[in-house]
Structure 1
């Protein structure tokens, strides 16, 4: 009986150390998204969708970051993006656009970041499955909840449009 208790204790402690090691590894590769990265993301998404939607006077993109992880020279950023085009004639009423979760990968090159990859989940019936393929589970769950209200980004989008109209 005593050897079984010792064995169980050793297994339990081993599992605890293993889990602690995984947790510290998990958090060690998380990075903070800088204002430079945020600006690069918005600029890229606006440029990426140029010509996709009907022409508008001005396009804006705002996003919510779920998290970012660094692997080597590559930084993966998991986000929810809201993109809209506006016309002066219709003022702050968005004319076209989308809201979607996405993963964007940045590569550090000569002290600056460049976009190396951008991916959104598939549309339609495969949306949820493909979201879980490109997002870590915790971020995918949050993104699914955010679908209902565009991640709460509409107010920020409206502010950008109103500032533009005042110029």
Structure 2
């Protein structure tokens, strides 16, 4: 179910009820300062911790697809209610930042557009444990797309117009 929250904010649920409190905690990422260091990753402003134990499904997908900003680590955001991923990050705007994240079941991922790299979307790929799609590609800075992940699994996604340019991402959802 996709629900328009405002002119530029969408919530997509996996069947779980979303409360006003869950939506009130929404925040934007820190933006990209050109070096790909990107967003804050959490609604409380805390950054995740890098970990080397990337699940093979995510590592293979990101490595084989030459994902931009992926350096063989996964950012661990377990225990947070919401995590922000920048869309259009990196030096040419063809990356998700961070490219690989680990979250707890029940966490909402908010993809926020930087306005760089042209029009982007966020779409799950075959092999993901859930289907999600932000819809048509858009270029406007501040656009957001939200997806709650309620069950453990591996989520692989890309920007459809820029997947050949390495605009790929992966999410490990843990119990």
TM-score w.r.t. length of structure 2: 0.25
Is the helix fraction higher in 1 or 2?
1
- Relative to total residues, which structure has the larger strand share, 1 or 2? 2
Question: Which one has a bigger Cα radius of gyration?
Answer: 1
Larger RCO: 1 or 2 (CA < 8 Å, sep 6+): 2
Task: Provide TM-score, normalisation by structure 1.
Answer: 0.26
